[in-house]
Structure 1
């Protein structure tokens, strides 16, 4: 238990934004998850300290409410406690696995709250949206971007915002809309073509 606690403290002591990007941190988190699979509560506490801020940020971007996000975070760690034994390092890094649990639980939270909806033009999402064609430059005329995005059909528009602003996967979008993944791929492709054509004309 002491070893697990030290691992969590070391994983939490990152630099900058605290992202668990290094191989050492991935190894530490994997060890903590293995400890949780053995029902080591100290390992769970240490993993919480190391990853809770990151996971809360993911949840908050989806549910849009701090209180609901904090409640969902607690549910996420209950799920981690229950499913730690299913983690397979060959399928991805610990943070990818944890983030997937957080995203899925947040989506479930939205479904439970029938009044929840995505409001893409609120909360400054426009400043976070990258240029999908060069991946680097900011779009100089964001007013034009807003106008052009308004011309994209509703479901395609929402998928564009969630995919490129919030980092949702095609599978997550398919689950949200009750559509096949190939349909989501088509929506994203058509939405991007429509958006690009409008922006080039502007």
Structure 2
């Protein structure tokens, strides 16, 4: 892990621990440090902007209410919160699925997806790529995810992150170089 990532994790850990005592300012710090990445992650799971907002709100409320249960010896703070985010996103998907008539969906949807072994390879490559992106400094990982997953331009990313498009382009380029050095090209291509 990089020194910057270690400092960020320590800052997040301290903010989460202070949140457990009811410190709203500390929880605001937790939100600021994690919201961009969690928004991308949840959006990737639920594939709906409105549902993403609902999931984030419920998950952050749960994090606030359960902050005292966080054990820094067992997990880093981002991972602990990610489990809560992921579970809330999956709950939202299940609720949405229950609200639809599954028989109509089965008739309407053709099975044109990849074969199971191909899907498993893509999923494994995607997990590895996500893990490597999460190892990058937050600004690089966020910029790469916004461009690759959501198709934003450097200018749009710069507007969202209050940075110049040139800075964003540099972050993305340096982040991709790091990814290329750590992963085989075939794995990156399969994940995207």
2:126 maps to 1:165:
yes
Are residue 41 (structure 1) and residue 24 (structure 2) matched? Answer: yes
Indicate conservation of the 8 Å contact 1:26/1:93, yes or no.
yes
Change (3 A) 1:82 1:35: same
Secondary structure of the residue that 1:60 maps to in structure 2? helix
Unmatched runs of 5 consecutive residues or more in structure 2: 103-111, 131-192
State which of 101, 114, 139 in structure 2 corresponds to 1:150: 114
Assess, with a 3 A threshold, how the Cα gap between structure 1 residues 164 and 90 changes in structure 2: closer, same or farther: same
Q: Is the 8 A contact 1:59 1:102 kept in 2?
A: yes
**Residue in 1 that maps onto 2:36:** 53
Moved beyond 4 Å, runs of 4+: 159-163
**Structure-1-length-normalised TM-score:** 0.50
Q: Structure 1 residues 107 and 161 mapped into 2: Cα distance closer, same or farther (>3 Å)?
A: farther
Is the 1:55–1:99 contact (alpha carbons within 8 Å) kept by the matching residues of 2?
yes
Correspondence 1:1-202 to 2 at 5 A: 22-114=5-97, 115=100, 150-152=114-116, 157=119, 161-165=122-126
What's the RMSD between the two structures over aligned residues? 3.1
Where relative contact order (Cα < 8 A, 6+ residues apart) is larger, the structure is 2
1:12 counterpart residue number: none
Instruction: Summarize the Cα distance change of 1:164–1:43 in structure 2 as closer, same or farther, 3 Å threshold.
Output: same
How far, CA to CA, are the matches of 2:4 and 2:32 in structure 1?
A: 16
Rg larger for: 1
Aligned residue pairs total 117
Counterpart-to-counterpart distance in 2, 1:113 and 1:48: 26
TM-score normalised by L of structure 2: 0.53
Are the counterparts in 2 of residues 110 and 116 from structure 1 also a CA contact under 8 Å? no
Whole-angstrom CA distance in 2 between matches of 1:116 and 1:59: 24
Partner deviation per Cα, 1:35-74 (whole Å, 9 max, x = no partner): 1100111111121111101111110100001111111111
Displacement after TM superposition at 1:151 (Å): 3.3
Q: 1:116 to 1:102 in 2, by over 3 A?
A: farther
Structure with more helix by fraction: 2
